[in-house]
Amino acid sequence: MGYVIDAPAIPTLPVRGSADVFPVHRVYCVGRNYAAHAIEMGHDPNREPPFFFQKNPDNLLVGADFPYPDKSQDVHHEIEMVVALARGGKDIPVERALDHVYGYGVGIDMTRRDLQGEAKKMGRPWEIGKAFEHSAPCTALVPASVVGHPDQGRVWLEVNGEVRQEGDLNQLIWKVPEMIAYLSGLFELAPGDVIFSGTPSGVGPVVRGDRMRGGVDGVGEIDLKVV
């Protein structure tokens, strides 16, 4: 048996300090997981159940500049810690959730905010605003065996040297073990799944020529230009 067309390449993320790569299965994103960001987006920051949306694995962008997308005049940055899973499962207990983590990285959830806003008004899915090509710039992963399981540390992003976003992992409404446990009740998680864990307040637009630099203390930094 063979494929009737050429099989697409498996999307991967590099691993810091290794020639091996991490194969990506799915990309989940947690919405409004910092209270200040929930407020700036017009929502109640109280601890309501988390919600998730997806990007496509081949939306990941590694080691390259971010090409400004078509059909949008309002593209926003959202800096996040990224969680990569080595093991999957359903209904994972909170107390066992970190056993499923391979490592961590830094990502930017790039968003066509104008298209997302139109979709929200019409009660339609967000993919048009979230899951476009190159919409998930990401660093190499750092294994948990090296970095541990970060639960505090500055999360920040600068545009052209000016701080736009700043928060701390200890401000996550739903912590990493909780988001894994909750997500595993909605989907059967698999090795290779990646979770963007939420962004602090200060999201805003970028234009061609801007330089974005950000990071998560103890995990890594990302630096790229909008082209």
Q: Where are the domains of the chain?
A: 12-225
* Band of pLDDT at residue 45, cut at 50, 70 and 90: low
Q: Which has the closest alpha carbon to 141: 22, 43, 28, 3?
A: 22
Determine the pLDDT at residue 42: 56
pLDDT tens sequence across 196-207: 999 999 999 999
* Band of pLDDT at residue 47, cut at 50, 70 and 90: low
Determine the pLDDT at residue 35: 72
Q: Are strands 111-112 and 75-77 parallel, antiparallel or unpaired?
A: antiparallel
Where b means 16+ CB within 10 Å and e means fewer, 24-58 reads bebbbbbbbbbbebbebeeeeeeeeebeebbbbbb
Question: CA geometry: angle at 69 spanning 42 and 103, to 5°?
Answer: 70
* Band of pLDDT at residue 84, cut at 50, 70 and 90: very high
- Spatial contact of 24 and 60, defined as CB atoms under 8 Å apart: yes
Where b means 16+ CB within 10 Å and e means fewer, 106-141 reads bbbbbbbbbbbeebeeeeeebeebbbbebbbbbbbb
**Whole-number average pLDDT of the chain:** 94
* Band of pLDDT at residue 51, cut at 50, 70 and 90: confident
CATH number, domain 12-225 = 3.90.850.10
